[in-house]
Amino acid sequence: MFAYTLLIAAVAVERLAELVVSQRNLKWSKARGGVEFGAGHYPVMVVLHTALLVGCLVEASHREFIPALGWTMFAVAIAAQALRWWCITTLGPQWNTRVVVVPNAGRVTGGPYRFMSHPNYVAVVVEGIALPLVHTAWITALVFTVLNAALLWTRISVENKALRTLTAAR
């Protein structure tokens, strides 16, 4: 359980790093006339993602570590993190935890975006399943996945509306 707690702590630190990058990028976007879309669902997203980490720790304290499942899900969770940071670096200053569009900015079509419209959400879905299952927290994985699906329905709708305001690909 100690190693799993360290993993969850590392993910929490990674999330804080994302927020630092996001705040920097938000300032960049606002300085260029950036417009935020769908701000109302953002607090729900923060609570849900925080609850994922807490739920992992609470439930895992009552579960046995199953090596075949745990190590496989650990590798999957690491792959999800790699995809997330590929998205972040590909979008550069246009990446944000909020949905912010800079007027006249081009839609990014490189990196993982050349394969799909919302690769970061693939990373979120995969991580939401894999991270809890590293230590057999299947209830957390299930509850997060269901609630996250509802949130992503809203989030992707908002983001697609925002992306339609972009003009050219880059």
Q: List, for residues 1-41, the tens digit of each pLDDT value.
A: 999 999 999 999 999 999 999 999 999 999 999 999 999 99
Report how far residue 107's alpha carbon sits from residue 164's, in angstroms, rounded to the nearest whole number. 9
Q: Are 127 and 12 in contact (CB under 8 A)?
A: no
Q: Are 101 and 162 in contact (CB under 8 A)?
A: yes
What SS3 class is residue 99?
strand
Q: What sign results for the dihedral spanned by CA atoms 27, 30, 89, 45?
A: positive
Q: What residue spans define the domains of the chain?
A: 2-18+38-163
Report how far residue 158's alpha carbon sits from residue 151's, in angstroms, rounded to the nearest whole number. 11
Stretch 92-97: mean pLDDT: 96
